[in-house]
Structure 1
Amino acid sequence: MITWKLVRLNFEKNPVHFGELGIGLEETAERVSSDTLFSAWINAYVRLFGGKAVENLLQQFLNSPPVRMSSTFIYRQQGDEFTYYLPRPLAFPRSYPKDNDLAFFKTYKKLNYLPLKVWQRWYQGEGFTKGDEGSDRTELTETTYKSNASGDLHDAGVFDYGSTFKKHQLPKVAVDRVTRATNFYHTGFVHFENEQNENGDKKHSGLYFLLQFPETDEDLENRLHTALNLLGEEGLGGERSSGAGRFKVDCWSDLPFNWREVAEFKEGNSHCLISLFWQKSLSSEFLTDSSYEIIERGGWIGSPFSGQQLRRKKVRMFAEGSVFSSPPSGQLADVTPERFNTHAIYRNGISLSLPILIDQPSHQNSKT
């Protein structure tokens, strides 16, 4: 029996630094993808349960994944209400206007993340509304030209994603151990929203992700939960020696009703990635009528058994939001550096996707 879990990470007032391939220390992302989360989690797992336990776990992932995980995405809590953001699928919603005069198109393209309520309506429900009064088209057009626009999309938090976190740069100085020469540089950090009004109502944001277990495994779930708590104490991402990335696991629970409706949607004809996805070989039929983006993943190894600092082999993966007509599966990618013989290094390409209903064929293939 398939079991889903919703996990929320509360970073409180702690900053985070999530570096990406090709981005310097000055820049930082506001979230981490499934491969980065997996690697950090496995490192915490091995410190708790030892090398043999992690070898057995990785062998399960290589044979038949015992759990699939999404990438992390932003959630926002206002009082007792939660808004969960999902990546906008790289395919137009049903009933999206096909005419050439799209005054709202620039606004639409900037919506990289959608609140769950709007995501569900656009991609599992009635789709894109385009009437004269109160339509998505009208509201997106007004957002382009008016600063005080309002409507259902605004009320749902569609345009609030950027206000859930703030980025800043911290000046630092590196001192050469031999010459004592100094090098001045900046490191980028993200602070998530964390406020509380005089009535005690919370208004804060953090990261969440989904887990899908193909069958109930309480022992594995407890081990993963414990390892995630340890990861929270140590920190996720970079600059951990500065206290960055520390979090508390605010929630580890079964899916609430609104999420169950989305995860168990039965009328879909396509599948939208909410994780990264890599597979050694894919047929041309699998990519037919797909809409996808490809990103390159790299970085440094973080083995607790070796003090070596080596770059992992780069691998190209399908990004979150990519849409396929059949459900993707995925594999672990072996990215062990040359000259590193301590153990294998894997990048998580095992996918997690949600069913969606779109007009077909989409003809929006994106290959970047």
Structure 2
Amino acid sequence: MSKWKLVKLDFKNNPAHFGELGIGMEETSERVRSDTLFSAIAITYARLGKNLDTLLDRFHKESPPFRLSSSFIYRETSSGVTYYLPRPKEPPTNYPIGNDIKIAKDYKKLNFLDIKTWKSWYQDGGFDNTGLPKSLYSQCFEIEKHPKVAIDRITRSTNLYHTAFVRYRSEPHDKSGLYFLVEFTDRRLEDELKSVLELLGEEGLGGERSSGAGRFEPSWHELDEQWTQLLSFDDGNSQSLIRLYWDNPPISLDDSSYELQERGGWITSAAKNQRRKKVTMFAEGSVFQKAPIGKLADVTPHQFAQHRIYRSGIALSLPIKINLKEAL
């Protein structure tokens, strides 16, 4: 029987830089996707003297030892904690398809829903026609740009550029950060992952770590009642991804609704900078009739012989109930 945990990453007042393929150094995402999080954990696992090859071999099997979601925003105030989840790519039941001119534009901006709205729309009663909820998602963080100077090693000429950082709320009674879910099938790995995240928090997650960016304090939590009810929902007819998914061949796309995300990046363990092979994955919020499984994608570049390079496409999804024949 699997065991679920929720992990919060409290960045305090530390900035972070989470670059993604195609957005450039000047931009940053407000969160870390599952493949990047898995890679950071794997590299730190090896740095602790653990046998990474043995661990990765277990992820090539039908039942991996654990599954990670992508990271998402949480906001903690004196009234409680609000967790945000990606809005599924299919509309909820009762959504006024064909008669939604007044709400369609605002609805499509709701890429992330608070957990209460998410559960109400996709597990309980469906869309609330009294109006859209007020989204406070953008209030949880700020994007700021820092000027930097690059110096040419040969000519000594300088070039001014900017790098974007995300900074989360860090007031005493109103703070935000990232969280992710872990489903353990091998509970013995929980203590090892705790050690990994402690070290990763000290070193930093994402880019610009040499500048002190990305440092966080991890905390582990049991799932509360709202999460337990959400995960145990047994009246669903579809599954919505909460992490990136890759498989070859992929799950059946009948009655599915999805977004594709190209993933790339650099190999951090190589002596010389080399790019991983690019791979296209299904993004968070993609909807399938059945729960996808997923695999590790081999993205080792040609003529790189030190070791194999993988991106995690092992899926994790939540049950939802929608009108299968109605798409937005």
- The normalised TM-score by structure 2 is 0.97
Q: Which amino acid aligns with 2:98?
A: D
Equivalenced residue count is 327
Question: Which position in structure 2 is the counterpart of 1:114?
Answer: 113
Matched, 1:217 2:187: yes
Instruction: State the 1:302 CA deviation.
Output: 1.4
Secondary structure at the aligned position of 1:103 is classed as helix
Question: Which position in structure 2 is the counterpart of 1:61?
Answer: 59
Contact 2:3/2:184, CA 8 A, preserved across alignment: yes
Q: Which amino acid aligns with 1:71?
A: S
The C-alpha deviation readout for 1:28-79, integer Å capped at 9, x for no partner, is: 00001000000011111100024xx111100001113110100000000002
Contact 1:276/1:318, CA 8 A, preserved across alignment: yes
Secondary structure at the aligned position of 2:148 is classed as strand
Matched, 1:241 2:210: yes
Matched, 1:273 2:241: yes
Question: Which position in structure 2 is the counterpart of 1:44?
Answer: 44
Structure 1 residue aligned with 2:294, among 330, 335, 356?
A: 330
Matched, 1:8 2:8: yes
Distance 2:79 2:52 in 1: 38
Contact 2:3/2:187, CA 8 A, preserved across alignment: no
Question: Which position in structure 2 is the counterpart of 1:195?
Answer: 171
Q: Which amino acid aligns with 2:56?
A: L
CA separation of 1:101 and 1:333: change in aligned 2, threshold 3 A:
closer
Instruction: State the 1:80 CA deviation.
Output: 5.2
Contact 1:290/1:363, CA 8 A, preserved across alignment: no
Cα RMSD after superposing both structures: 1.2
Instruction: State the 1:301 CA deviation.
Output: 0.8
Q: Which amino acid aligns with 1:235?
A: G
Matched, 1:180 2:180: no
Instruction: State the 1:282 CA deviation.
Output: 2.8
Instruction: State the 1:181 CA deviation.
Output: 1.3
Contact 1:70/1:352, CA 8 A, preserved across alignment: yes
Contact 2:88/2:240, CA 8 A, preserved across alignment: yes
Instruction: State the 1:339 CA deviation.
Output: 1.4
CA separation of 1:101 and 1:232: change in aligned 2, threshold 3 A:
closer
Correspondence 1:75-90 to 2 at 5 A: 75-79=74-78, 81-90=80-89
Structure 2 residue aligned with 1:208, among 164, 170, 179?
A: 179
Distance 1:254 1:351 in 2: 21
Distance 1:239 1:129 in 2: 43
Gaps of 5+ in 1: 141-152, 197-201
Structure 2 residue aligned with 1:352, among 316, 320, 326?
A: 316
Contact 1:277/1:351, CA 8 A, preserved across alignment: yes
Distance 2:221 2:138 in 1: 27
Secondary structure at the aligned position of 2:106 is classed as helix
The C-alpha deviation readout for 1:203-246, integer Å capped at 9, x for no partner, is: 000000000113x422x111111001111000000000010000
Q: Which amino acid aligns with 1:96?
A: Y
Matched, 1:163 2:139: yes
Q: Tell which structure's C-alpha radius of gyration is larger.
A: 1
Instruction: State the 1:102 CA deviation.
Output: 2.2
Distance 1:362 1:35 in 2: 31
CA separation of 1:233 and 1:96: change in aligned 2, threshold 3 A:
same
Secondary structure at the aligned position of 2:243 is classed as coil
Question: Which position in structure 1 is the counterpart of 2:221?
Answer: 253
Contact 1:74/1:85, CA 8 A, preserved across alignment: yes
Matched, 1:96 2:67: no
Contact 2:91/2:327, CA 8 A, preserved across alignment: no
Matched, 1:20 2:20: yes
Matched, 1:35 2:35: yes
Q: Which amino acid aligns with 2:128?
A: T
The C-alpha deviation readout for 1:149-172, integer Å capped at 9, x for no partner, is: xxxx23xxxx10011000111000
Q: Which amino acid aligns with 1:36?
A: T
Determine what percentage of the aligned residue pairs are the same residue: 54
Gaps of 5+ in 2: none
Secondary structure at the aligned position of 2:244 is classed as coil
Matched, 1:227 2:196: yes
- The normalised TM-score by structure 1 is 0.87
